[in-house]
Amino acid sequence: MMTTAPPSADIRSGVGGGGVVRSGAFAPLTVGAFRMLWLAGLASNVGSWMQSVGAQWSLVEGGSSPAVVALVQSAAAAPVLLLAIPAGVIGEFLDRRRILIAAQAVQFAVAAALTVLAATGQLGAVSLIALTFALGAASAVQLPAYQALTADVVPAPMLGDAASLVSISVNIARAVGPAAAGLVVAQLGVPAVFAVNALSFALFLVVLVCWRGYRRPASHPEPFLDASRAGLRYVRHAGVVRTICLRLAIFLLPAVALWALLPVLAQQSLGLGAAGYGLLLAALGAGSIAGALVLPVVRAKIGVNIVVSSCAVLFGAAIAALAVTPSLWIALALLVAAGFGWIGVIATIGGVIQAFLPAWVRTRGLSIYQLVLLGGTAIGSAVDGALASMFGVTEVLLAAGLIVSLVGLAQFARPLPRTEGMGRRSVPLEDASPVAVADDDERRVLVLVRYQVEASHREEFRRAMAAVAQTRYRTGARDWHLYEAAEDPVTIIEAYELGSWREHVAQVRIRHTEWDAANLARAKGLSIRPPTVEHCLGLPVPRLHPGGPRRGEEHDPTG
């Protein structure tokens, strides 16, 4: 089966001159740039998983407490709490290939330092966690850019399959990396694992440097603080994104107990060494790969909410049973099930978020998603590790499994918001301002929209304007109000304020989706005549000073 891609997709992806785009789960791998990045990312992910296993096992062998071992997960994920939003802005407006080059260079240097310190016997718990934090910081900077880069290099019809392939890559690495780390640690020691990770960063760096065909997509640069506020404002007023991120956080806080405490469980409860721990993680990864391959078909048949809810219940039940089983073989089977459930929740939610976010704010929105994902991992790992030190690993894993299962069951009753039919393509407003003002004017803007609404339609209009208010906020409004004209009760005035004329231009040209346009059209359709739009630009007002007016200022006659 073949579909025709839009011309812009051909230019971005390097698809053949006929403009034909293949369909199918592995179709994105026919795009040279995506294939190159996918393979390099796979190698880097394998190295990162080996690094994580080596770091945790180094602490376990050194006799560190469960709380300290869990801090490896926290240190890797915590930088997202600080850097997710700035990284989203950087990834939105700067060259994404160059961002990745810089991040890989930093990660290579840190991984090389870890290797040297471990080989010379100078790597203590504090330095290990500090360098893990540095690796996490570089990863946090590159993550939004790397995710958004997929849309730059593959045609739009392939985006869903490309996202699934990225998930498969992560989970192949999760299956292969830990098992390989266990073997390498057993045969060559922890320093060799760190060396392999450094080589994986070097390989990705070479691929990025040699990649010359990337063309940065057109963007509309904004001041850093304004762009950050715009991203946060969008998420705050996008109920779908806000709800999904909240559900993800509720799932993660107990669920990450498995990742944080598995090395301790492997040694204390199952009596395994480094190779055995790698085998446990390989089982988790194998389940995740199976889920990534099977779940797209299942989602299409039974829907997103049932998949997420069922997989959460499966994951919770698996880790609760794992906490009390003494058998390695049963543990391996439970971890395969847990891996399937994990990817069912994480990949499905990530796919919904990526598909829902409009292009103008996608990278910033993904940075908020990463903030929840990795921030929840950092906080949850630290809390679960501390609880395990007080109450025991078995007890914490059992409780976490029960809580996750209850969360999944609750979601059957309160399903995720539906996004089908909500048009996400960007559309310019028909009433894009004709006012002769420079696009980069930084003065604040007050927009007044006057509607003529009959009394019989007044209540319906107010309901329609509630949706319009959210549209205005999502696309840049900092304040919004609705007024009734005292002299003419038929006239209703919508007033909203933006930070600058530049932001208003971006609002009317690129920030409205088809769904937003439909909300506006619904309200306009209730007006007797087409609404009129008036734009007011802010003027500076001289400030009066207690010691009297400065030169050129008038006296305040009111005293």
3-state secondary structure string across 369-424: HHHHHHHHHHHHHHHHHHHHHHHCHHHHHHHHHHHHHHHHHHHHHCCCCCCCCCCC
Percent helix, strand, coil in the chain, to 5, is: 70, 5, 25
Q: Could you tell me if 435 and 505 are in contact, meaning their C-beta atoms sit under 8 angstroms apart?
A: no
pLDDT the model gives residue 364 = 82
In terms of average pLDDT, the best of 87-91, 199-203, 348-352, 361-365 is 199-203
pLDDT the model gives residue 2 = 30
- Region 359-388 average pLDDT: 83
- Region 29-46 average pLDDT: 86
The residues near 181 (Cβ < 8 Å, ≥ 6 apart) are: 49, 50, 51, 53, 54, 57, 193, 274, 278
> Rounded distance, CA 222 to CA 224, Å?
6
Which has more confidence, 64 or 102?
102
Please report, rounded to a whole number, the percentage of residues in the chain having pLDDT higher than 90. 30
- Region 169-185 average pLDDT: 74
> pLDDT tens for residues 205-252?
998 888 877 776 666 667 777 778 888 899 889 888 999 999 999 999
Nearest to 219 by CA among 80, 318, 359, 326: 359
Least confident of 13-22, 92-101, 390-399, 539-548: 13-22
> pLDDT tens for residues 323-346?
998 889 999 999 999 989 998 898
pLDDT the model gives residue 95 = 81
Residue 507 has pLDDT above 70, yes or no: yes
Residue 544 has pLDDT above 70, yes or no: no
Nearest to 93 by CA among 228, 212, 242: 228
pLDDT the model gives residue 19 = 46
Q: Which amino acid is at 397?
A: L
> pLDDT tens for residues 399-441?
999 999 999 999 988 888 887 777 778 788 765 555 667 777 7
pLDDT the model gives residue 551 = 54
> pLDDT tens for residues 274-301?
678 778 877 887 888 788 778 778 887 8
Residue 1 has pLDDT above 90, yes or no: no
Which has more confidence, 504 or 299?
504
Nearest to 368 by CA among 240, 500, 260, 499: 240
> pLDDT tens for residues 134-159?
988 888 888 878 877 777 777 767 76
Give pairs for 117-126: CB < 8 Å, separation 24+.
118/58, 118/189, 118/190, 118/191, 118/194, 119/191, 123/58, 125/59, 125/62, 125/64, 125/68
pLDDT the model gives residue 471 = 94
Which has more confidence, 169 or 495?
495
> pLDDT tens for residues 258-271?
988 888 888 888 88
Residue 74 has pLDDT above 80, yes or no: no
pLDDT the model gives residue 434 = 53
Phi-psi region of 16 (alpha: psi -120 to 50; beta: other; left: phi over 0): beta
Give this prediction's pTM: 0.74
pLDDT the model gives residue 474 = 93
Residue 37 has pLDDT above 60, yes or no: yes
Q: Could you tell me if 284 and 174 are in contact, meaning their C-beta atoms sit under 8 angstroms apart?
A: yes
Which has more confidence, 241 or 123?
241
Classify each residue of 77-116 as buried b or exposed e, where b means 16 or more C-beta atoms within 10 Å of its C-beta. Answer: bbbbeebbbbbbbbbbbeebbebbbbbbbbbbebbbbbbe
pLDDT the model gives residue 556 = 46
Residue 557 has pLDDT above 50, yes or no: no
pLDDT the model gives residue 380 = 87
